Chains A and B, each alone.
Chain A
């Protein structure tokens, strides 16, 4: 019997400091055993428990895409016991991963549709996975127009800067990167995410919006999409909760009858409407 509590051994291959405040880093992890890599079959939107023996585990969205074989990436903010330890480790460190866990962005549903990705701050990790998945040469033709609105408070807080620049150069993805307030070197767009969404005004016809960000951003962004004609069935988001087991047993991440770890983390607004407001 497979023991779902045993972490898969991985090595920290690369650590990238993403932001000027240095509290958000991306960790590239490689599998110690080849067969584990083959078994770890995931899709964008899923998460995993990052496991450091002696400290514990922390549930983090997978930031890499399955179209990037050979490694997993996780972008982690330094916050609690496990993530602080993670921020202090160096390349070559051996740790563990449990997963993939949870459901995925609705990839099959997105096929043949225009996709609008809206991200705020550091909640861009599984959206990045989704973007990289959709624009991969083998997949791009499956999706319609791809529009991205991504914002951070200031330029130094944007994550995946090299990738953002590379995506800007492509003609098959409409990039709209914004900051609340620019600095001396910033030549890009200024403005809050909801306002930028209003300006970009993506059409709702045959389109799905996928939105992740701080609660305040989501609160002001949703009305924009409702005004654009997006129905609640066509707006998706991802929830976070305190988790331990990640497999629907330890009992703490439920919202009503659903466990965020196993029935989520991805829900449409229509699905969320049916759940209790306890998250």
Chain B
């Protein structure tokens, strides 16, 4: 693995230079929020920030996307074009928790039998530059409880670590090494810097505030689909879906058709298991008729079903659902409460 050093004051310039020749998404301040934005001339990428408000999953799995278009013919409506050709891009400044979410989503969208060409095309053409969390940004962070780490390079092509006056840049994948060629001459990192990184990494891991038994609750879930505990979560839930839309790993979607005059398009949009409509059948039967079943589904999907299918928890511990739930439902508390049953 190539390991290089980038001077602190040089990084923004390097990113801006890259953005002259290719599409670079970087965190940019937008009023009170930090959002990933296409870096245009005159724009400054944020290097000091906590995390973006939205998870970056939308770069591979957009909130809404056109899958195909069709047109009216003599015999009905027929396919005209298939959408989804991606532009090569760099996604700069992804936090390690969010970068891990891509690896989890790959299980779903790039499974051996059914490939999702829309997701896979964008994923393959995008290089991900992660920024390690030297100081875990929020009290709601709990990545270490769900197999992650503030310095994890999982899902990253390049991992940047802020060492104070310089960045240590690790070019983790072949795609990352390709990007190195576009970053100009960077001096190699020496062992002293690596030792410094290890020290910071240990401290950052210990500084993650939330510690919950993410793996341990599966055995309880295996046995307790029916349990009084499931009556204790959902009463305050408004079914707003904020947790699912902000979640880096939630991948459920709907497919709908839209027609304008004669022609139309088939689109895919994020959907949410928090909605009654999600599983509502035409007959009127609904296998998940109340918020209780829907909450059980959300918790079970993340901490049991996904583990059954892929041996991974479908949660990266970013804490967005905890921060933005309007009624303060806290997945960390749910996991902890289950572990105490």
Contact = CB atoms under 8 A, between A and B. Distances in A.
Interface of A: 1-7, 9, 11, 52-57, 79-80, 83, 89, 92-96, 240-242, 244-245, 247-257, 262, 276-279
Contact of B77 (A53, A240, A248): A53
Contacts of B82: 3, 6
A39 to B, nearest CB: 15
B300 to A, nearest CB: 8
A58 to B, nearest CB: 8
Contact of A276 (B70, B225, B253, B281): B225
A45 B117 CA distance: 27
Interface of B: 67-68, 70, 73, 75-79, 82, 108-109, 111, 113-117, 120-121, 225, 251-257, 259, 264, 266, 271, 273, 278-283, 287-288, 293, 297, 300-301, 304-305, 308-309
B257 A256 contact: no
B253 A53 contact: no
B116 A278 contact: no
Contact of A53 (B115, B257, B281, B293): B257
Nearest to A58: B282
Contact of B115 (A2, A56, A252, A253): A2
24 contacts: A1-B115, A7-B79, A52-B77, A53-B78, A56-B255, A57-B255, A80-B282, A83-B282, A89-B76, A92-B75, A94-B73, A94-B75, A96-B79, A242-B280, A242-B282, A244-B254, A248-B111, A249-B114, A249-B253, A251-B252, A251-B301, A252-B273, A257-B308, A278-B287
B70 A56 contact: no
Contacts of A54: 70, 77, 257, 259, 264
B287 to A, nearest CB: 5
Contacts of B257: 53-56
B282 A79 contact: yes
Query: Interface residues of A: mostly helix, strand, loop or mixed?
Result: loop
A241 B297 CA distance: 15
Contact of B114 (A93, A241, A248): A248
A4 B293 CA distance: 30
A2 B300 CA distance: 32
Contacts of B251: 249, 251
Chain B at the A interface: SS class = mixed
A95 B254 contact: no
Given A6-B68, A6-B79, A94-B76, 17 more contacts: A1-B121, A2-B117, A3-B82, A5-B255, A6-B82, A56-B257, A83-B282, A241-B279, A242-B281, A249-B114, A250-B255, A252-B271, A254-B297, A254-B301, A262-B114, A276-B225, A277-B225
A94 B281 CA distance: 26
A188 B313 CA distance: 57
B274 to A, nearest CB: 12
A-B pairs with lowest CB-CB distance, top 7: A251-B252, A53-B77, A94-B75, A257-B308, A80-B282, A247-B114, A53-B70
B282 A53 contact: no
Contacts of A278: 225, 287-288, 293, 297
B253 A3 contact: no
Nearest to A239: B287
Contacts of A254: 297, 301, 305
Nearest to A248: B114
Contacts of A93: 75-76
A119 B297 CA distance: 31
B172 to A, nearest CB: 25
Contacts of A250: 252-255, 271
Given A1-B117, A2-B115, A6-B82, A252 B264 contact: no
B114 to A, nearest CB: 4
B293 to A, nearest CB: 7
Nearest to A11: B75
Given A252-B271, A278-B288, A242 B279 contact: yes
A245 B253 contact: yes
A244 B287 contact: no
Contacts of A11: 75
A5 B108 contact: no
Given A5-B67, A249-B114, A252-B279, A56 B253 contact: no
Contacts of A277: 225
A4 B110 CA distance: 12
A76 B279 CA distance: 20
Contact of A252 (B73, B278, B305, B309): B278
Contacts of B304: 257
Contact of A5 (B68, B78, B287): B68
